Amino acid sequence: MTPPSGEAIDHHRGNIGNDGRTGGISQPISGSACEVSTSQHPRLPLMVDIMSGPNSPLTKGFIMAQWRALPIDRLFGEHHDISDTEVQAGLHEQFREADFMWAAIDCSTKTLARTIPSKIAGRRMPPPLRSQEYPMGLPGLQGSDKERVATDNDASEFVLAELKLHHSRSGGSGRENPENSLHWSTPTEKDMWNSGDWQDTLYHACCLQGTRRKRQKIRHDIEEILCWPSMKCSTCITLRNGSQS
Ligand SMILES: [Zn+2]
């Protein structure tokens, strides 16, 4: 198999604020955290993969398609903490040369699963931290819950601001969250929707080999995504209703 000739760009504390073309060179290890290599080919288009996950599958796909990619995930270390203003300043500079940006925004404090009672007797689900009325955090949050919501808000607001900026530079982007996530109710997200600059595309994760029929929403400014075939799974619904073995 021919190795992909695209590149993933590392960013370290030391080179944040540079143009992303400096830094140590290392080789990607298959299946490992994909925070690797430096850009030797600045003419290749650049995609930014925000909250890429440790295996960075989107990054890998874009590299195979001859792009450069910048995977970002807190799991890669402190220098990937996008709630940190110093990290944000460095990324802000690197994002200027992006052609395409994707963000899998953290939904762990925004999911409505927190409001569903546990089916396991005696097991308590973590309490909700937000609501439709208070999408930026319930009043009265304390301690680690309060801190977690504040950190999540900082990260999310940074990402949305950068996507807005990227759109104003005619760059394409998409961001993703569960369809019923309270993320979509945050004031910035509502303003962005009301601007008319963005489109929503819904899909069920099992149509893309996810294990569950998780209903996801992509908000984007990519015309081609609107042309995707429907990815709503009727099989799961049929199975759930017991009308198919
Ligand atoms: Zn399904």
Structural domain contains residue 199: yes
* Structural domain total, the chain: 1
Centroid of ligand 1 to alpha carbon of 240 (angstroms): 10
Structural domain of residue 52, as residue ranges?
A: 7-240
245 found inside a domain: no
CA distance linking residue 198 with residue 188, whole number of Å: 13
Query: How many whole angstroms from 36 Cα to the centroid of ligand 1?
Result: 34
Whether residue 2 is contained in a domain is answered as no
Q: Which residue has the tokens 């940190």?
A: 84
Q: How far is CA 67 from CA 2, 15, 45, 46, 213, in A?
A: 15, 21, 5, 6, 31
Please report whether residue 95 resides in a domain.
Answer: yes
- Minimum mean pLDDT among 2-16, 53-67, 83-97, 205-219: which range? 2-16
Q: What is the CATH number of the domain that holds 146?
A: 3.40.50
Asked if the structure places residue 63 within a domain, the reply is: yes
Instruction: Answer whether residue 180 is part of any domain.
Output: yes
- pTM beyond 0.85: no
Residue 96 C-alpha to ligand 1 middle, in angstroms? 38
- What is the CA(55)–ligand 1 centre distance, in A? 24
Average pLDDT, the chain: 84
Domain-embedded: residue 1: no
Q: How many Å lie between the centroid of ligand 1 and the Cα of residue 67?
A: 31
CA 234 to ligand 1 center in whole angstroms: 7
Angle CA 59–193–80, to nearest 5: 35
pLDDT in tens, 118-174: 667 777 677 899 999 999 999 999 999 999 999 999 999 999 999 999 999 999 999
pLDDT exceeds 70 at position 215 = yes
How confident is the model over 78-129, as pLDDT tens digits? Answer: 999 999 999 999 999 999 999 999 999 999 999 876 666 666 777 767 789 9
What spacing in Å lies between the alpha carbon of 220 and ligand 1's midpoint? 24
Residue 124 forms part of a structural domain: yes
> Is residue 71 pLDDT above 80, yes or no?
yes
